[in-house]
């Protein structure tokens, strides 16, 4: 079974949304250039605001979104719910959650996967790779 990016080319585009530049950097570094041996290399598009996320999704070409559930003023859970409602063929979403108790909110937001903050490299790379394969 081919992943989303395989049919398009040699790279997958991962959108990372957080108002915190350090959180975006941690996610980018933890994922690395290639999250798994059977996934394409990734390139990152970083967004710090909801309008930037919506504009990037409107342009297309995003394979997976990584959203910070702790972002302000637009939290990743609300952003996830909004894009799942409004974006035709919305890419899968990996939601970064601050507490295990937030998993039910991630379900409400219709996230495809979750991983905990602070970012743990093995966990985030495995979760992202699974979404790229789907």
Residue 101 in tokens: 């108790």
Angle, vertex CA 117, rays to CA 131 and CA 43, nearest 5: 45
pLDDT over threshold 70, residue 76 = yes
pLDDT over threshold 60, residue 3 = no
What is the value of pTM for the model shown? 0.92
- Check residue 126 and give its pLDDT: 97
pLDDT over threshold 50, residue 120 = yes
- Check residue 101 and give its pLDDT: 86
% of residues, the chain, pLDDT over 90? 87
Query: How many other CB atoms are found less than 10 A from the CB of residue 46?
Result: 17
Q: Which domains does the chain have, with CATH numbers?
A: 12-133 (3.40.50.2300)
- Check residue 9 and give its pLDDT: 58
Tens of pLDDT, residues 86-117: 999 999 999 999 988 888 899 999 999 999 99
Tens of pLDDT, residues 7-19: 445 899 999 999 9
| Average pLDDT value for residue range 45-51 | 98
pLDDT over threshold 80, residue 6 = no
Report residue 57 CA to chain centroid gap: 12
Handedness of CA 70, 18, 132, 85 (dihedral sign): positive
């Amino acid at each position: 079974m081919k992943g989303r990016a395989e049919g398009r080319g040699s790279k997958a585009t991962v959108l990372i949304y957080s108002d915190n530049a350090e959180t975006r950097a941690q996610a980018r570094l933890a994922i690395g250039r290639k999250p798994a041996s059977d996934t394409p290399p990734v390139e990152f598009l970083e967004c710090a605001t909801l309008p930037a996320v919506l504009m990037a999704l409107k342009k297309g070409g995003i394979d997976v979104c990584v959203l910070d559930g702790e972002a302000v003023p637009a939290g990743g859970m609300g952003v996830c719910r909004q894009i799942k409602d409004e974006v035709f063929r919305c890419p899968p979403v990996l939601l970064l959650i601050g507490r295990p108790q937030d998993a039910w909110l991630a379900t409400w937001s219709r996230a495809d996967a979750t991983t905990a903050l602070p970012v743990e490299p093995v966990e985030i790379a495995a979760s992202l790779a699974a979404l790229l394969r789907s």
